[in-house]
Structure 1
């Protein structure tokens, strides 16, 4: 059963002016779509074809002979997750149960935001910055390329894409400006709370 690229949860231009419709068109319509197409081509006719995307990611994470399956599968998952981490009505202060947990585990919302901004800005090369739940504790982590925290036993709650294709059309080499715009204006705290509730 082929993995289907989920529909965007908003219009291409819904995240403007922070992320342009042009960026969404290339990012979702070309990059994300290519990962899904490549993944389906690689797993067709194999035992992976009947597994969930999460199962395949976990089974192929440390298998050098399956690096193509992992990279395309994980990138398909990461992007599907990422689009839901953003909202036209997002940003601002954390809400719900996760807000209190952030203060408990980071000391303050500002400290959390600084850690997330630093992780996203300092990830060398392509990758992701994440808020995860790790054995009951919230942590900020960063991963390179297609890596996903679930392969380390952590539960992703939100992510920020810092591959150049996520921001270069809008921000060129100013990755920190893109990251700040996402955190301040687009983070979908309702989605983060859903993930936190499910992970507890």
Structure 2
């Protein structure tokens, strides 16, 4: 860990070559290994050294987000499970979206083995409470996104956006042809109904959408 911290490539290489070295030993936190530390610091050259060592557990979960540079290096390794869950039950994509890491979201969406949704819930449900409009736009650009998936309360992303007062996301979703505006949640409410209850000023967006559809 010390050799990693000072970016001593020779020291790290020598330690990794020694079979007595516990390459997966944790430090400071119960889930924080030297590989996590290298990713967190952005030392991609050190990350590459760890990835070359067959004894390193590349899919060991931690709860600390690394740098973009470290993420790029990790995603290039075929052993990496890009869909592994963190201790908090999130995938890397969920965590990147929640952390407003637009570049990380794009990298992960481009990965051939990425799972867009977690169970029956949409990635949009996880991102909505925290993600900026830019992150939401990035997610919605992906053709694999199903905007009508529901959470355990039978709410779609549009329901959640209306509940949270995310007018920016409401408009993004209403601009799509595949958004089911009339879908009811577990309480029998439409997204417009939720908006009327919590943010009446936003409800007119749904009215405008309906008028446009009727004219079409």
TM-score (normalizing by structure 2): 0.25
- Greater helix fraction, Structure 1 or Structure 2: 1
Higher relative contact order (CA 8 A, sep 6+): 1
